[in-house]
Amino acid sequence: MQPSPAEIARTLAAGHLPAVAHIACRPGPVPIRHVTDAQGRVLLLVPAEGTLAAALRPQDGNDDTALVLDIRDVPPMATSPSLGRAWVSGWAAKLTGEDARAAALDYADTDACGDLLDIGESQMLYRMDVAEVRYERGENLVEIDPDDYAEATPDPLRAVEFDLIADLADHHVDEMSDYVKRQLGSAARPGDEPRVVRMDRYGFLVRMGKRSARLAFPRPVTDRHDLAHLLHPILCRRCADSDTAADHTAA
């Protein structure tokens, strides 16, 4: 299994990557801080004073402002391929009172930054209702149904992907290399030195020179701890062999 375009778009838009906003009838694009809530709606954290707040101010008696959020993937390693780019379009409205307080808690679930304490003073929160989602990778552009986008969930490993890959590279090269070669079977070539370059809830991508291969987990993982449990037999193969030998001896 692999992530669907809707899942990748939700992952890119989750708030772990930098974004720029193209705001209707305003010069741009402009960098903007954001996260998405559980429904996939975009929350924008904006200084109360400045050009960004002025650009988001509704015009002609409207209550909201049209904009497009542009988010590009930042690969975890120099050798990692990019997941592509997502555009999320909709209308953003300023939140006040209880709505702003509830949205600040949603924002903190992804990014518990200190500026959230200044909502209503030096900072403002806007919520963008999503109307259109597009996902681009290479030369392929996919239109994603907003309902599919909203129902998808961000990948639980994206925020820690760099740490996970770095840990494998620093401490488990031999174990992962042996595992990948066993999985590839006859497709493995002499001299192959597999290196994990991307990871998500469904599996990981390994690169061997100019070749690459995707290996799937037995099931999608739910978080970092679940991944550690799933990888334990691979990374601690000698421990597993010792346990098996002890079982045979006891028998």
Q: What is the pLDDT of residues 73-84, one digit of tens each?
A: 999 999 999 999
The number of beta carbons lying within 10 Å of the beta carbon of residue 141 is 12
Average pLDDT of the residues in 230-241: 69
Token pair recorded at residue 196? 């994990």
Asked if residue 5 has pLDDT above 90, the reply is: yes
ω into 18 cis (within 30 of 0):
no
The C-alpha atoms of residue 11 and residue 82 are separated, in whole angstroms, by: 13
Amino acid in position 39: Q
Phi, psi torsion values for 33, nearest 5 degrees: -90, 140
pLDDT for the residue 164: 94
Q: Between 177 and 137, where is the model more confident?
A: 137
The DSSP result for 58-112, as a single string, is --TT-SSEEEEEEEE---SSTTSPP--EEEEEEEEEE--HHHHHHHHHHHHHH--
Three-state secondary structure call for residue 49: coil
**Domains of the chain by start residue, with CATH:** 5-152 (2.30.110.10), 161-250 (3.20.180.10)
Token pair recorded at residue 16? 């772990």
**Which residue has 């030998």 as its token pair?**
245
The C-alpha atoms of residue 230 and residue 216 are separated, in whole angstroms, by: 12
Compute the mean pLDDT over every residue in the chain, rounded to the nearest whole number: 89
Asked if residue 240 has pLDDT above 90, the reply is: no
The C-alpha atoms of residue 182 and residue 192 are separated, in whole angstroms, by: 12
Q: What is the pLDDT of residues 151-208, one digit of tens each?
A: 999 999 999 999 999 999 998 888 888 888 888 887 777 777 889 999 999 999 999 8
Amino acid in position 132: E
